[in-house]
Structure 1
Amino acid sequence: MLPAPATTATSPSGTRSRWWALAVLTLPVLLIAIDNTVLSFALPAISEALSPSGQQLLWIVDIYSLVLAGLLVPMGSLGDRLGRRRLLLIGATGFAVVSALAAFSPDAATLIAARALMGFFGAMLMPATLSLIRNIFTDPAQRRTAIAIWAAAFSGGAALGPIVGGFLLEHFAWGSVFLLAVPVMLPLLILGPVLIPESKDPEPGPVDPISVVLVLATMAPLVYAIKTLTDSGLGPVAVLSALVAAVSGIAFVRRQLARAQPMLDVTLFARPVFTGAVLANLLSVFSLVGFLYFVSQHLQLVSGRSPMQAGLVLVPGLVVTIIAGLLVVRLVRYVSAATLVTAGLLLNALAFTLVAITGTWGSDLLLLIAFALLGAGLGAAETLSNDLILAAVPARKAGAASAISETAYETGAVLGTAVLGSLLNVAYSRHVLLPAGLTDAQRASASETLGGATAVARDLPPAGAEQLLGSARHAFDSGVLLTSGIGALLMVIAAVIAHRTLRRGV
């Protein structure tokens, strides 16, 4: 497992150097947040350029978080052995190189493979940053502030993503959104060895290859089962995938309980506050990623906005996310964390309800308001759930707790797209009406995604193009109505769970 910040290195001596080190350590977090938002806005351009199927489009988004979530804990354990700074720099180098290669992918399959490699190197970045911050900031008050800034980097990256991504997509090809990783990672690679002290556990637990395989054998079939279930219904493939995931997950838990030095201390989940905070963390990210998946396409392909204009519509909500995350640090002195997290999740539910209305009315103003509500809920729930996860365990288990927190974040990102994205594609395919005279290839493309229908419409006569686009946009909004309703229900359930579990720690 990832131990608490027992380490062979000391923290940098000067206060100023600590904060400069923090500034460098937030760069990987900032980049990953930008990458998630930018990719959502690049999906229409990728659809037109590479002509992916509906499932390939989902895998372009999902594969990164899937690999990342499966490898976070193993990579954290490896960092304890090799050195957290060393692993951070290796991950940053690999991430920048693979991102540059992804920018020139000739087809969807190549891009999916590149995204998988980005997930592999990204898994080296996340556990190392939080562990290094805990080692650098030994004063509890400073450490809380540093962790709050680290968490705010996710929101800051999301806020920058639409603006930067919109500018790049309007002036350059879709691959430019991946080239963004190179200039962001360069300061880390140059200044990291100077500002960041090396940190490793003097008595690290062993890397357990069997546990690594079991984690991946749990996550990959689980997501595939969800995809298959939403795409084809309850069939043998979905059932078999879910069964493999369940068996692998049980085997992983049993193996961790039996080992003297487990890769992941699963007994942490016996603490109600810890489990409730992890679920709140996961479902908050689920709501954000699921929302961005269909709203970014709605703004561009239904409302007809440019990528830059679509990004500007979402910026107020993303700014609200940052403000809410910083504000709850003060509010929690007067209002219990359980109440604030519950309220945040209920705001997410309200946001999805407004999205359902937006899907019916097509109002971008309502969409902006909905995302502002979602941002407020996300900022409150995500910030406090991370704090509760660390506070709910003994100091010696803080490293394991942070790895679980980061895994929950990425699992939420996977499931947000897999569940809501798959349901949206199914609803679209069932409701779209195709005009006569299309070729087999055109029918296949137009029937799977809204981006595909938009690309096909460009090659049709005006009357046929108008008919296809009208039907496709209506079908897409019918899917938004379904998925946002499901999202609202899930957020209400999450709020109930959070209220019942987190209040036990108050």
Structure 2
Amino acid sequence: MTQVEAVRSEAVGPIGAGRARLGLAVLLLPVLLVSMDISVLFLAMPTLTADLDPSAAQQLWILDIYGFLIAGLLITMGNLGDRIGRRNILLAGASVFGIASVIAAFAPSAGVLIAARALMGIGGATLLPSSLSLISGLFPDARARATAIGVWTAFFAGGSAVGPIIGGLLLHHFWWGAVFLINIPVLLILLAVGPFVLPEHRSDLLGPLDLPSVALSIGGILPVVYAVKHAAAEGVDAPSAVILIVGVTVLTLFVRRQRHLEEPLLDLRLFGRAQFSVAIGSSLVGMMSLAALSYLTSVYLQSVTGRDPLDAALLGIPMAAAVFVFSMGGARVGQRIGVRASFVLALFASGVGNLLLLGIGVDGGLAWYIAGSTIAGVGYGLAFPLVSDVAVSSVPPERAGSAVGISETSFELGNALGLALLGSVAALVFRSGGDYASTLGETIERHADDPALLERASESFVTGLHVATSVGAVLLLGMAVIALVATRRPNATTSD
């Protein structure tokens, strides 16, 4: 993704401390938008559903397609930026992201909204790798660069937690399309200021992109996820089984191709290092559980407890604040108690926070929600800034670019898998509780005159939430054990 050698710089002029800080501020704008747009729809889904009337499958695709395309294209776009210029692809991606945001805001149907979200995912895939790689040109000093990357990571992790709050505030005053239009002024600032404060970097010695690898990666991920979601929504049938087999086969071909390429999109040899694997596993599992927790509790606060989007958003502030604050200080915690202990502590706290959500119910348990989400937020905040640092520092310098690309992909893929897999688990438990509509919101609309049925439906949804967050907690605690055992020695490898 980011080439360590053979990179030509075309800086906009001497980069002093003031210009570097201004450049970092500009780079934080797309990071915040991309991560925020992952979760900003959580609170908007009930009102959006009432307006566009999407099916259950379309609702999941509205949420999922954005993250999956980002995950599938991150490494590709990072490599493309190395070839055509990282600032160039950053500004081009911002333009695509802005156009797609306008289309999404005024989408007349669920299909158009899904297409717009897909286009946003393509634009977003250019913003993350280019913004992170440009930090190296702004901060040549290693310590300053590490601090800047920590801030970048905090905004990336915090944006996902802040998304529901921003969405709630906007929905309190405007219609659901406002959650997309908020992107426009931010992107205009980036497009206006970016060319003057950001240096340009490109490599002259790289070969062409391996397009078959790009096609295989996307062609494998999407069928697998679709099959899982379809099986959870409609049950296991022949079409879902065939689609799953196709996806797994394509991913197998992708892995085999990467092993034989001199310049692979995904350097699989990196996973032979235990520290790298633990970092990637932590980000993947962490984002899976965070996405499921954020989405399911947003639906719970609105559809089960009857709160409006603003009230639901305000109740999410403690977790958002914990994620952001502890992301800013995560690197310092790692320096004091060690990276290994920090990962174990962070994953354990996140797991315990998810388990505390077992205390919430149809008629109470708000204190359990606040306590559990806040403790989980502390754990997420400690873990996420360590991932990028460990992913890069645990591999040789010549592999740092590939490591960064994989770490960013794990964040995005984890978020999308959390919605697809854990969200589908919750939906499956909900529907198994009775003869309900595909979602709780749709059930409430259809059976508003049947309080007894709505009570049972709410109980089924809460049960599904308990199951999904408990699965997330088990994954987090399991990853904590792996981090404790697998990284006993700093240079341990997976084979050790």
**Cα deviation per residue 1:409-461 (whole Å; 9 max; x = unaligned)?**
1110111001111111112222145xxxxxxxxxxxx611111123334xx5x
Partner SS state of residue 40, structure 2: helix
1:452 aligned partner: 442
Partner SS state of residue 334, structure 1: helix
Instruction: Report deviation, 1:5.
Output: 6.2
Contact 1:162 1:315 in 2 (8 A): no
Instruction: Report deviation, 1:54.
Output: 1.7
1:478 to 463, 485, 490: 463
Number of corresponding residues:
489
Q: How is 1:41-60 mapped onto 2 (pairs within 5 angstroms)?
A: 41-60=43-62
Distance between the aligned counterparts of 1:321 and 1:5, measured in 2?
Answer: 35
Distance between the aligned counterparts of 2:364 and 2:431, measured in 1?
Answer: 20
Instruction: Report deviation, 1:349.
Output: 1.4
1:102 aligned partner: 104
Distance between the aligned counterparts of 1:122 and 1:83, measured in 2?
Answer: 16
Counting aligned pairs with the same residue, the percent is 39
Contact 1:81 1:200 in 2 (8 A): yes
1:7 aligned partner: 7
1:437 aligned partner: none
2:68 to 38, 45, 66: 66
Q: How is 1:4-403 mapped onto 2 (pairs within 5 angstroms)?
A: 4=4, 6-9=6-9, 12-359=14-361, 362-403=364-405
Distance between the aligned counterparts of 2:78 and 2:142, measured in 1?
Answer: 23
**Cα deviation per residue 1:27-72 (whole Å; 9 max; x = unaligned)?**
0111122212321111111121122222211111111111111111
Q: Compared with structure 1, are the counterparts of its residues 205 and 498 closer, same or farther at alpha carbon in structure 2 (3 Å cutoff)?
A: farther
Instruction: Report deviation, 1:234.
Output: 4.1
Greater shift after overlay, 158-167 or 404-413?
Answer: 158-167
Contact 1:103 1:174 in 2 (8 A): yes
Tell me the amino acid that sits aligned with residue 67 of structure 1.
L
Distance between the aligned counterparts of 1:4 and 1:242, measured in 2?
Answer: 37
2:474 aligned partner: 489
Distance between the aligned counterparts of 2:247 and 2:152, measured in 1?
Answer: 32
Q: Compared with structure 1, are the counterparts of its residues 16 and 5 closer, same or farther at alpha carbon in structure 2 (3 Å cutoff)?
A: farther
Q: Compared with structure 1, are the counterparts of its residues 322 and 491 closer, same or farther at alpha carbon in structure 2 (3 Å cutoff)?
A: same
Contact 2:87 2:199 in 1 (8 A): yes
Partner SS state of residue 148, structure 1: helix
1:441 aligned partner: none
Distance between the aligned counterparts of 1:284 and 1:6, measured in 2?
Answer: 35
Contact 2:71 2:125 in 1 (8 A): yes
RMSD (CA atoms): 1.8
Greater shift after overlay, 5-14 or 35-44?
Answer: 5-14
**Cα deviation per residue 1:269-307 (whole Å; 9 max; x = unaligned)?**
111111111111111111110111100000111111111
Tell me the amino acid that sits aligned with residue 132 of structure 1.
L
**Cα deviation per residue 1:87-106 (whole Å; 9 max; x = unaligned)?**
01010001011111101111
Distance between the aligned counterparts of 1:376 and 1:216, measured in 2?
Answer: 33
Distance between the aligned counterparts of 2:399 and 2:406, measured in 1?
Answer: 11
Contact 1:349 1:489 in 2 (8 A): yes
Distance between the aligned counterparts of 1:209 and 1:379, measured in 2?
Answer: 36
Counterpart check, 1:501 vs 2:486: yes
Partner SS state of residue 332, structure 1: helix
Distance between the aligned counterparts of 1:223 and 1:491, measured in 2?
Answer: 21
Distance between the aligned counterparts of 1:470 and 1:246, measured in 2?
Answer: 40
Contact 2:65 2:121 in 1 (8 A): yes
**Cα deviation per residue 1:354-405 (whole Å; 9 max; x = unaligned)?**
1122146631221111110111110111111221001111222221111111
Distance between the aligned counterparts of 1:98 and 1:244, measured in 2?
Answer: 30
Instruction: Report deviation, 1:340.
Output: 1.2
Q: Compared with structure 1, are the counterparts of its residues 5 and 407 closer, same or farther at alpha carbon in structure 2 (3 Å cutoff)?
A: farther
Contact 1:360 1:478 in 2 (8 A): no
1:443 aligned partner: none
Contact 2:347 2:479 in 1 (8 A): yes
1:442 aligned partner: none
Greater shift after overlay, 373-382 or 356-365?
Answer: 356-365
Tell me the amino acid that sits aligned with residue 443 of structure 2.
A
Contact 1:223 1:414 in 2 (8 A): no
